[in-house]
Amino acid sequence: MWKYVLKRITLLIPTLLIITFIVLFIMELTPGSPGQLILGDRATKEAIAQKNRELGYDQPFLVRYVRYIWDAARGNLGTSWSSGRPVLAEIMTRFPTTLTLATGAVIIGILVGIPLGIISAVKQYSVVDYVGTTFAMFLASFPPFWIGMMLIILFALRLGWLPSFGATSLKSFILPWITTACAFIASQLRMTRTSMLEAIRMDYVRTARAKGQLERKVIVDHALNNALLPVVTLMGIEFGGLMGGTVTVETVFSLPGIGSLIIEAIRLKDVPMVVGATITLATLFTLLMIAVDILYAFIDPRIKARYVSVRSKA
């Protein structure tokens, strides 16, 4: 298991090199220069050129790429061209907001989506199944900004129960959590239902029923464990995507998250901030996928046995 984890972490290095090159190249193709965007349109060409030299933007692209990789390898993600603060400090300032938003939305999605998916599969073609699938399609049909605005109108403006903006307390995250979790609930419900329908038709489930085991034990101990693998995969992918920041939700509720930070940095052509945030998110996403792979061993005994057998042979 540890050899597999180390191998995956080692593969992270070329991945980050490629991502850094792509992001830097795309930012290179965008119009304008950082000196012009920082100083404004009224600045003279001499002042703009001087600012670009200070930022190292007058050097060739490959030279800037190699220099950035060298600095990043030593833990220096650069300094923001717009704010003048270290990039890592800016990211860490915004990271708790994004982490809180993503974690709350995932928890709601798990607590609502997975049980509804299990019930819909066990009660296939029943009223509960039709209600569950309709509910999933309903949640997936509406865009997050519309859901967010409707929640603000109802719970913030009309009822006055919850705040409509900011991230001052956990109460401020309730509406953003619900808004973000809607699409996650829909995907978890559909994936869980599909996986459970496939699992309950397997031979080992029929054998367990033939032995006279309780239906609840058959569903939980035999079908659910095997059906959870694709659900956990989707959960990790969705959580990694949410860690990138839900720009729409952050904009609607005025949350200072990583998503809004990247959008603002792109608008200002703040290359160190864009690349630094992208590298951070790519690293987090890869580590989440490794954690999902490790979680497989605890869900499915067959995977754990495979790792044990490989270790014993070694």
pLDDT tens for residues 289-314? 777 777 776 666 565 555 555 454 55
Residue range 56-111, pLDDT digits in tens: 777 888 888 888 888 888 878 888 877 778 888 888 888 888 888 888 888 998 89
Structure tokens at 120: 């819909």
Q: Which two tokens stand for residue 92?
A: 């860490």
Domains of the chain from N-terminus onward: 2-73 (no CATH), 91-313 (1.10.3720.10)
pLDDT at 182: 87
| Tens-digit pLDDT profile for residues 176-199 | 998 888 888 888 888 888 888 888
Q: Within the chain, where are the H helices?
A: 2-29, 34-39, 45-55, 61-73, 87-122, 127-141, 144-151, 174-199, 203-210, 215-217, 225-243, 247-252, 258-267, 271-299, 301-313
In this prediction the pTM is 0.77
pLDDT (average), residues 210-218? 76
- Give the whole-angstrom CA distance, residue 18 versus residue 281: 14
